[in-house]
Structures are given as C-alpha cells and as structure tokens.
A and B are shown apart, each in its own frame.
Chain A
Amino acid sequence: MRARGRVLLQALLAGAMSLAVTAAGRVPQPAYEVDKSTTCVAPPAEMRRTHMDLLKHRRDQTVHAGVRGGKTSLETCIDCHAGKAGGAVTGRPDAFCEACHAYAGVRLDCFECHQSKRGAATVVSGAQGPSR
C-alpha cells in the first residue's frame, strides 16, 4: 500500500515538474522569474488572490471611462513582471503569468488580445518606427 502511494506521489511530482515547478519543500511551488528589486502595489499574498479583481475593475474603468495609466494598469504590471529572458509575461514555462497559471490550471485569456511583451510600443510598430 505504502509502495503504491509512493509511486503515485512520484507520478504526481513528475507531472508537477513538467509545469515548471520547484519541489524545495513538501509542497511544489511554481518556478517563475521575478524581479525583487522593487515592490508590487500590494503584498504578494494579497496580489495572488486579488490581481484578477484589480485588473477587472481597471479594465472597465479604462475601456468605458477612459481612465488610463496609474500603477494598476496592465501595461505597468507587464513592465515590471516581464522576465529578463523572454521580455514577456507569457511564452516561456518560467514567464511570470504563465508559470503560475499553468501551476494552478487556470486559463490565461488576457494575452489573446493584450500584448505580453515589455516595452513593445516601439518594437511592435515594425520597420516604420514609432507613431508620429
């Protein structure tokens, strides 16, 4: 019974590792790249639970009332959280948004429309350069 349990645990762990997690303690944690030189708008524990509410409140404010900028805009989030390696919050197993969402098994819809790269304002506009 115990042997079977161990096999199951190993299988679970192997599955979890494929989602880019670290198993330093008893509980596997998602492995993501984050710049710790600055602090976020709220403590990490709070952000983990409320970032979606902050973003949702913000999106309606922006789209319907034209309130832009500020520290809770998605662009500001990406500027800080985009990884050094990929320069984006998605696209790599250790990218900030992707690592956690894969770990939690929550589908990440934001970046089907939003740009996930940092500072893409000048890069994406293409060969013709930034807007006039």
Chain B
Amino acid sequence: MNQDDTTAKRRALMIGGAAALGVLVAPGIRLVEVAAATAAARPEGEAVSAKVRWGMLIDANRCDPNCHECVVACERENGLPSPKRSTDVQWIRKVELKDRKNGRTMSLPVMCQHCADPPCVDVCPTGASFKRADGIVLVDRHSCIGCRYCVMAGPYKARSFVHEPVTTQRPEVPRGKGCVESCTLCVHRIDRGDGPACAKACPTQAILFGDLNDPDSAISRRLREIRATQLRADLALDPAIHYVGI
C-alpha cells in the first residue's frame, strides 16, 4: 500500500457518509471534495476578492489523445463556432506533444493560462485586457480596440481575434467582431458558484479546478502531493494552470 492509498483511506473515513459517492478523481481526491471546492458562490452583489485565486491542474496522463470533450464543451458553453479556418477563434485546444528521443506522445488541453503577471495585460493600450481580483485574466470588450498587441505578447497562443460578425452569442457570454477574446475560465459559471465547462465535461476527470489560495482545496492538496509544472515556467509569469505528466 503506497502513501496515496493510505491518505485516500484516511480521508474516506473522515468524509464518512459522503464517501458513498466516492468516485476517485485522482488518488486521494474525491468528487465530493471537488464539488465542495467550487460550490461556494458569492452572495449576490458582492465583488470578487483577491482571497481567491482560481486555477486548474491538468493531468496529461489521464488525457485521451482522441477525446475532445473539453473543446466541445467549451464551444457549447461559450457559444463558439467550431473552428474551420486558422483565423477562427479558439479558446481551448488539444495539443499533441512528442518526445523526440523516445517517441512518447501525449495530449493535453491548452487554454489561457491565467498568469499572475500576464504579459497581455502589460501591453494593452486601453486597459481592456485585465486581471480580475480572483486571478482570472479577461478582456473588457467595451474598451478593446482590437489592436491585437495582447495576441503578440502572450506566449501561450491563448488569444483569438473575432473577424466575422457574431449573431449566435449566448446571453452570458457576449462576444463580437473586432475584439480579442480567450478562455475566461467560464467566469459566468464561476460567478454562480460553478466550475469551468471543460473541467465538468472531461470524462477522465483530468482537469481539476479549484482555489489555489485555499490550502485545503483539492487542487492545493494535490499540488502539494505531486510534482506539477507550469507551461514555460521559465518566463516566471506564474500561470494558474498547472500540468502533470508533461
């Protein structure tokens, strides 16, 4: 019995009755805990606070190269058309990685990494690109002039420009021609106490969403237990999206 199993058993005992629902998300993390982490909605009228920092932990080992459920869920949730041309918007995409030495391939979803020090915010001439108090990097379309400096500045190819008029927006996700946009971590869902659509849709629970500032959240505990990396950690942007197995 390894350390993970022991912790899982102890935690299962502590959860007690709730453990009946114990679907393992990852060793030591149960769905019940994930639900508890995301279900704390702010009271209506209260502004977001910096006490919370939303983030994700993506396990590339669990990610099936042939599965695109997260991408489909993102398009459905945010009213995005499926990209057909290279100029079409893309908020999340599956990236294939291959180790040249041994040919090992892996697949992982990549979206806006919601950096603590986002370069897209630094370069924005109008202040449209901003970081919300809870760490979500967003575009305020009311002041975006579509200059696309942020597209150039961001190292993760996260931002897209909307070239065509849009008529099929979802009411919670306004978007239109002439603005830059990217993953919002499903901010409208977070504001009602829900998690991002991609994390919910993942059939292998490879995406764990939670509060990085809360030491007791499932994501913080998991980050303490295992070695996770951030993409291009050398840039010292401190992304909120962490990866395992890459």
Contacts and interface: CB of A to CB of B under 8 A. Distances in A.
Nearest to A59: B142
Query: What band does the interface of chain B fall in when counting residues whose beta carbon is under 8 Å from A?
Result: 35 or more
Interface stretch (B10-18, B145-153, B187-195): B187-195
Contacts, number: 78
B176 A113 contact: yes
Given A70-B45, A132-B200, A121 B172 contact: yes
B201 A115 contact: no
B96 interface: no
A19 to B, nearest CB: 23
Which secondary structure dominates chain B's binding surface?
A: loop
A63 B170 CA distance: 16
B113 to A, nearest CB: 20
A66 B132 CA distance: 9
B76 interface: yes
Interface of A: 59-61, 63-70, 75, 78, 112-115, 120-121, 124-126, 128, 131-132
Given A69-B44, A115-B171, A121-B171, 20 more contacts: A61-B47, A63-B138, A64-B130, A65-B133, A66-B47, A66-B48, A66-B187, A66-B190, A67-B44, A67-B46, A68-B188, A68-B191, A68-B192, A113-B174, A115-B174, A120-B171, A124-B170, A125-B79, A125-B170, A126-B168
28 contacts: A59-B142, A61-B47, A63-B140, A63-B142, A64-B132, A65-B47, A65-B48, A66-B132, A66-B134, A67-B44, A67-B46, A67-B47, A70-B45, A75-B171, A114-B171, A114-B174, A115-B169, A115-B174, A120-B169, A124-B79, A124-B168, A124-B169, A125-B76, A125-B77, A126-B76, A126-B168, A128-B76, A131-B76
